[in-house]
Chain A
Amino acid sequence: MNAVPRGSATDDITQMLAAARSGDARAWDQLVTVVYADLRSLAHRHVAGQHGDRTLNTTGLVHECYIRLAQAGATPNDRNHFFGLASRVMRQVIIDHARERLAQKRGSGAATVPLDAVREDELAQARQFVAVEDALNELARTEPRQARVVECQFFAGYTEQETADAIGVSLRLVQQDWHEARHWLARFLAER
């Protein structure tokens, strides 16, 4: 067999996590790459199974991706650590994409391919996401843990328990944080 065996991305996750733990900046980029690649292959499989139906169960899809990747972590600690990092990756991936779409719209002219056309509802949502991102950064200045909880739940779609494991706090604290942060963010967004 030639080259790149299936699943080679997950082979290296353990090493990558070790690198990320020791503060290696590149490990982060690698993680983004891996998450991208895995999301892509999962998306393909889903589309293939649904004959082009575009309404995917996206949360389920992303979850499947986490689980696959997290299995590479040998210990429960590794797994939690991976979930902790993956939530940040998801946040970055989504916000980057939202910003790109807004930029595309601004710069778009007649040359835009119809397939790529950015719909108004997508633009509205992209603007909201970017606003949430800004607000979340604001929140993180005073309440970093609450911001992490929002990141895990809103951007990464973790369950409360997964969030608690990823951050390393109790379930009760996650529930309380989420409640407070959500209302603070909503007020912040409305007042701007």
Chain B
Amino acid sequence: MRAGSEISEREALELLVPGGALQGPVFGSLLARLMRGPAELDAGARVGPYRVVDTLGSGGMAVVYLAERADGEFEQRVALKLVIPADGAEADAARELLRRERQILASLEHPRIARLLDGGTTDEGALWFAMEVVEGERIDRWCDAARADRRRRLELFLQVCEAVQFAHARLLVHRDLKPSNILVTKAGEVKLLDFGIAAINQPGDAGSTPRALTPGYASPEQRRGEIETTASDVWQLGRLLDALVFGGATVRDDADLRAIIACARNDDPAARYATVGDFAGDVRRVLERRAVLARNGNALYRARRFVVRHRAASALAGVALAMIVALASAFTVRLAQERDTAAREAERANATVRFLVGLFRGNEPATSRGEPPDAKMLLDRGVERLDRELADQPEVRARLLLAVAQIHDSLGDATRARTLLDEAIALTREGDLDRETLTEAALTRARIVLHQGRPLDVLALLAEIEPTLDAGTLAGRRNRVNLLGMRAMAQMGSGDLPAALATEREAIELARATDGPGSAEFAARNHDLGIVFRSQRDFRSAAAAFDEARRIYRTMYGESHPLHASAQKNLASALLELGELDRAEPLLLEAVERYRVLYDGEGALYGAALRSRAQLSNLRGDRRSALADLDESARLIEAALGPVSTALAYTLQSRADTHAKLDDPESALRDFTRAWEIRRALLPPNTPDVAASANGMAAQLWRLGDGARAESATRAALQVWVGREADPRALRARVLLGHALEAQGDARGAAAAFDEARRLATDDVARGELEKLIGSPEDVLGRRMPRAPVAGTR
């Protein structure tokens, strides 16, 4: 409670009269302050290079004048809009944004958009915008006055969509679409006013200051004070369509239009039309009396998926960049203002960047057939924009370059990502700037190297980065989680599984402490832990880890998200390895179906999912179904990734196994050989997978009676196991060597190989399998083909 106000009871009673707060100096100064706004300029008043001619209108926080060039350079009449900022801080932020955005807005040339010619601030701190003068009437009033029928109204609405779509493609969001900002000219053409002005006038979150949102036309996320995106414009267009076709009518008599409006105005931005183009497409369908997508959930879903597959990356890139730029602007402005606020803003900006980059992560290189070129184009345009407008702000520019590089990486363009990263790193180093940005850029570079399959280089890079991490900040701890996760994968890639496991466990604990056990980071670490366990063939632990990741992803992103589908598939595969077919089957079939829908039945990821389903079929003994899935899997993966990829090698290896079991050693040999060639080209020579393919080749060659080549295949396999001779797979190779020698008539050599294998075997289970393979190889490897001339092995 405040200190005493030193007021007696009598004085208090005198104060507490009706209207008491409206009397005296406090309210007087309030009114005086309100009057100091820039309103009510007289004719002849100068604003920037313009002279006021007449008042056109006023409302809310703005007044619009008709004005002309005061310097007489050339005759030009403009609509001059004066906006009263809520307070000094907002005015500063708006000025800063205006300075940066002016160029872009001025370049927004479209016949249906009133051009913004210039803008600035008055001495009193008000913002002014000079716009093309438009003679026309508000769209809703024009429609009523012209008694426009529904068709005409829809056609006008489509003109509005066309203009908004044009701006969205240029990374501009209107944020204040409403009837008073949309005029219809005498020629019956639509003109949009105020493009970009709302964005400048209300930069970032104005905190407690009331923001001049247009009542009834503010989207749910705008009302919550969140960042506005193209989805907000879609919402406002839906509101506009509602007003235009149904007006104030209580009965909305057209089910199609009702459904379209409901879709556009969904509270959840992600459930709305993905683009204005889609929205307009549905309106056009109404005009053409065709079925609208909005009434067909599946079709809409498919359309949305299609967008995600083919265009959303570009739309996302656009939105992402617009958001990043807006955030960065807000961030820089605040930085100058207040330290605490700046820290908060920076954290928010970082969070958003993380989120956006995360969105693109679903699009890892392997997942899509090709890279969406539109996205690249937009990203490049975004980078140009950064170069042009943020040249004097290296810190923000470095951060944004980093974000764009991460998006490039997610889209599979490692080269471009590297270039941008190097630029970001150089900027940061030169200016001795933000250490977190530098660290994050270095980490991203390491991730690219990891994707390129160079684990040893990654370990070296990470060792360089580690000392720069700051455990005292949230960003520092997150970077550490990131670093540990990468180190674990690199250790696994280099064959050091125990180290990988220890590192991943450390990463998990740190992720739990930093972001909590329900976070995406924690889920990602669990997923990777599962992968480490899997390569250790500890499928029980792998299943538990995948299940944990799956549970978190489901809560965070929903069941149809690629990350959830991936965790689900990996869980199912691990269960298959454990022989828990009944538990695995429903999970696997569902996951495969999710992949099919997510990737339109194409791409390497769906191909890999089919491979898992084939594994299930094989275990159920349905080898024909397995073979069909594997054929399709190989085709899809090869189409997506080319003829040489580890993913393709996995499918070929599985298909070879299936052929072998179907008593077709020739086809099996062909696939084993291809898998071996691919693996030898891509993997370090001591990788178990290389040996597995060689073992397969050896077994088929033996079946076909080609002892000599079987022998060289087994020797190749044994090369892999040098130093790890007791591994069950190494023992198997040694027994195969014995059979190969035997087939060539070298009984003594064969016996020596068998004895060596027996000597090396460490446990009874291994020994038992060994004896079976030694004693009755045909039961294990398959029927030996009748001795025929050695042919068709290639």
Contacts and interface: CB of A to CB of B under 8 A. Distances in A.
A4 B60 contact: yes
B548 to A, nearest CB: 37
A4 B213 contact: no
A154 B12 CA distance: 12
Contact of B133 (A2, A39, A62, A189): A2
B215 A58 contact: no
B256 interface: no
Nearest to A58: B22
A182 B13 contact: yes
B645 to A, nearest CB: 52
A15 B34 CA distance: 25
B792 interface: no
Contact of B64 (A2, A128, A182): A2
Contacts of A126: 26
Interface stretch (B2-10, B426-434, B490-498): B2-10
A106 interface: no
A68 interface: no
B220 to A, nearest CB: 9
B61 A37 contact: yes
A98 B34 contact: no
B530 to A, nearest CB: 43
Contact of A192 (B4, B18, B223): B4
B13 A186 contact: yes
Contacts of B138: 5
B22 A62 contact: yes
Given A3-B56, A19-B215, A131-B5, A44 B19 contact: no
A81 B222 CA distance: 24
B12 A1 contact: no
Interface string B32-56: 1111010110000000000000001
A183 B636 CA distance: 84
A100 B176 CA distance: 30
Instruction: Name which of A16, A39, A59, A190 has the most chain B CB atoms within 10 A of its CB.
Output: A190
A99 to B, nearest CB: 10
A9 interface: yes
B12 A37 contact: no
Contacts of A155: 21-22
A44 B35 contact: yes
Interface string A56-69: 10110110000000
A4 B58 contact: yes
Contacts of A127: 5
Instruction: Name which of A4, A90, A132 has the most chain B CB atoms within 10 A of its CB.
Output: A4
Instruction: Name which of B57, B59, B216, B222 has the most chain A CB atoms within 10 A of its CB.
Output: B59
Contact of A40 (B21, B23, B39, B181): B39
Contact of A186 (B16, B23, B31): B16
Interface in B188-236: 193-194, 210-216, 218, 222-225
The bracket for how many chain A residues form the interface is: 35 or more
A122 B57 contact: no
Contacts of A8: 57, 59-60, 180
Contacts of A7: 59
Interface in B137-151: 137-138
Contacts of A94: 21-22, 26-27, 30
A185 B20 CA distance: 14
Given A33-B210, A44-B39, A58-B28, A4 B17 contact: no
B59 to A, nearest CB: 4
Nearest to B224: A26
A33 to B, nearest CB: 5
B316 interface: no
B19 to A, nearest CB: 3
B447 interface: no
Nearest to B24: A125
Contact of A189 (B5, B137, B213, B222): B5
Contacts of B37: 40
A37 B37 CA distance: 10
Interface in A42-79: 43-44, 47-48, 54, 56, 58-59, 61-62
A89 B791 CA distance: 93
Given A16-B215, A29-B211, A33-B212, A157 B18 contact: yes
The bracket for how many chain B residues form the interface is: 35 or more
A2 B215 contact: no
A121 B25 contact: yes
A22 to B, nearest CB: 11
B16 A29 contact: no
A177 B33 CA distance: 34
B193 A2 contact: yes
Contacts of A154: 16-21
A3 B13 contact: no
A16 B57 contact: no
Contacts of A129: 21, 26
A8 B216 CA distance: 12
B167 interface: no
Contacts of A36: 34, 210
A134 B7 CA distance: 14
Nearest to B31: A43
A190 B35 contact: no
A29 B26 contact: no
A182 B16 contact: yes
Contacts of A160: 18
B180 A4 contact: yes
B35 A47 contact: yes
A4 B63 contact: yes
A131 B137 contact: no
Interface in B153-187: 180-181, 183
Nearest to B16: A182
A101 B29 contact: yes
B35 A43 contact: yes
A143 interface: no
B30 A12 contact: no
A147 interface: no
A38 B63 CA distance: 13
B29 A122 contact: yes
Contact of B58 (A6, A43, A47, A185): A6
B16 A150 contact: yes
A141 interface: no
B18 A33 contact: no
A93 B30 CA distance: 9
A93 B26 CA distance: 11
A58 B19 CA distance: 9
A190 B133 contact: no
Given A5-B180, A8-B60, A130 B216 contact: no
Contact of A13 (B4, B26, B30, B215): B215
20 contacts: A1-B56, A4-B59, A5-B180, A8-B57, A16-B216, A30-B210, A30-B213, A33-B61, A43-B31, A43-B35, A56-B28, A59-B23, A94-B27, A101-B26, A121-B25, A154-B17, A154-B19, A154-B21, A189-B7, A189-B9
Given A32-B210, A58-B22, 14 more contacts: A3-B79, A5-B138, A13-B215, A19-B215, A27-B215, A29-B211, A33-B60, A37-B60, A40-B35, A58-B31, A97-B33, A121-B25, A128-B15, A132-B15
Interface of A: 1-9, 12-13, 15-16, 19, 24-27, 29-30, 32-34, 36-37, 39-41, 43-44, 47-48, 54, 56, 58-59, 61-62, 90-91, 93-94, 97-98, 101, 118-119, 121-122, 125-132, 134, 150, 153-155, 157-160, 182-183, 185-187, 189-190, 192
10 closest residue pairs by CB, A with B: A157-B19, A15-B216, A122-B25, A26-B223, A8-B59, A186-B12, A12-B215, A131-B5, A190-B9, A16-B215
